[in-house]
Amino acid sequence: MSNSRVVADLKKIAGMDNVKVSEPMRSHTTFRIGGPADYFVTPQSTEHIQQIVKYLKNRHIPYYIIGNGSNLLVSDNGYRGVIMQLYSRYSGYEFLHDDVKSAADKAGIVYIKVQSGMGMMRLAALAAEYSLEGMEFASGIPGSVGGGIMMNAGAYGGEMKDIVVRATVMDEDGNVRELDNRELEFGYRTSRVAAERLIVLEAVIALCPGNQKAIREKMQEIAQSRRDKQPLEYPSAGSTFKRPQGYFAGKLIADAGLKGFTVGGAKVSEKHAGFVVNTGRATAGDVVELTNQIADKIYQLYGVKLELEVKKLGFDER
């Protein structure tokens, strides 16, 4: 099937303004790294997502779902297929009342249904606006709700598993179903969504009424801690490695004397060794070589195997 036919078909489904060709992925990742995706689609409805998934499956065209691209390293060669972004154009929300039945209702729990493209920081701000506590931990996480559920994102003592009641997901055949918190099988930086390559469409979260002043103060404390401890002045994909059992990746890397270690434009942050940053000219190849050398060094010194937390897309895994 010709490229022009694919473009025409995708535009017919998603709309003329929601399909781009040869879109540079550096514009859609917080790392600011990545070559062009063949097709870049931003659907605005569940029906469009379902139609696109079925269309791509029938034509054996690979695709990948992203939100804000905050935990992603895309190859310098880009991605041969369709990138479907569920972010600002798929980020509605509503407060729920009678349709959520739970004993917790009597305790004053507030339920919000959000589309998966809503940003985590935006949702945390929304919660604070309505004096709802429970989302403060996410006030500095740059990803989307869908991505947060997929990887059970967490920080500062909170995780998505603590607030998600249920999620509506779609499988690779376009089938839609609901999974409750238990069925989502949350783990450390993973979930059933990741294991089965499901697409999160929307989620219901549960928050508690609280004191707005105290909520905002906690969010400010978290923001200040991030500024003090994390290299926010550089593009990055967040924490580069998962926390190995019994250790902290950043401490191992720092103890190995690797702070400031550089390959091309990629560098181990001197502020926090758990972050690999883009100093302004890094390629995906630089990041891969740097992280490979870090992992090798840590294994040689400590016998600990570091596992990337950042997802790699568009090139063969090591």
What are the Cα distances from residue 163, in Å, to 32, 36, 181? 30, 36, 9
Dist CA 302 CA 315 (whole Å): 29
Which listed residue (32, 122, 189, 192) is catalytic? Answer: 189
How deeply is 182 buried, as exposed, middle or buried, from its count of CB atoms within 10 A (0-12, 13-18, 19+)? exposed
Among 66-80, 83-97, 106-120, name the one with the lowest average pLDDT: 106-120
pLDDT value at position 104? 40
203-218 pLDDT tens trace: 999 999 999 999 999 9
Segment 290-309 mean pLDDT: 97
The CATH architecture of the domain made up of 91-228 is 2-Layer Sandwich (3.30)
Q: What is the pLDDT of residue 255?
A: 98
Confidence category of residue 263, pLDDT binned at 50, 70, 90: very high
3-89 placed in CATH 3.40.50.1100: no
Burial of 318 (0-12, 13-18, 19+ CB in 10 A): exposed
In this structure, CATH architecture of domain 231-313: Alpha-Beta Complex (3.90)
Structure confidence at residue 101 (pLDDT): 44
Owner of token pair 């302004």: 280
What is the average pLDDT across 2-17?
A: 94
Q: Using alpha carbons, select from 117, 139, 118 the residue that is nearest to residue 128.
A: 139
Domain assignments of the chain as residue spans, ordered by start: 3-89, 91-228, 231-313
Distance from C-alpha of 201 to C-alpha of 181, rounded to nearest angstrom: 15
Among 23, 136, 202, 309, the one annotated catalytic: 309
Q: What is the pLDDT of residue 59?
A: 95
User: What is the DSSP annotation of 123-137?
Assistant: HHHHHHHTTEES-GG
Confidence of residue 158 (pLDDT cuts 50, 70, 90): very high
Give yes or no for residue 58 having a pLDDT over 70.
yes
pLDDT of residue 279: 97
pLDDT reading at 251 higher than 60: yes
Please determine, for residue 315, whether its predicted confidence score (pLDDT) is greater than 50: yes
pLDDT band at 97 (very low <50, low <70, confident <90, very high): low
CA atoms within 13 A on the CB side of 146: 26
Instruction: Compute the Cα dihedral for 242, 84, 315, 237 and give only its sign.
Output: negative
275 closest CA partner among 297, 259, 298, 257? 259
Q: Distance between CA 35 and CA 222 in Å, rounded?
A: 33
CB-neighbour burial class of residue 101 (10 A; exposed 0-12, middle 13-18, buried 19+) = exposed
> Can you give the pLDDT at residue 318?
38
**pLDDT of 145 higher than 60:** yes
Q: How confident is the model at residue 83 (pLDDT cuts 50, 70, 90)?
A: very high
Predicted confidence at residue 102, as pLDDT, reads 44
Look over the chain and give the mean of its residue pLDDT values, rounded to a whole number. 94
pLDDT tens digits, one per residue of 228-238: 999 999 999 99
The predicted structure's pLDDT at residue 316: 72
Q: DSSP letters along 15-57, please?
A: -GGGEEEEEEGGGGSTT----EEEEEE---SHHHHHHHHHHHH
Active site residue 129: no
Given the residues 70, 144, 239, 269, the one annotated as active site = 239
Task: Tell me the whole-structure pTM to 2 decimals.
Answer: 0.92
The confidence band for 1, taking pLDDT boundaries of 50, 70 and 90, is: low
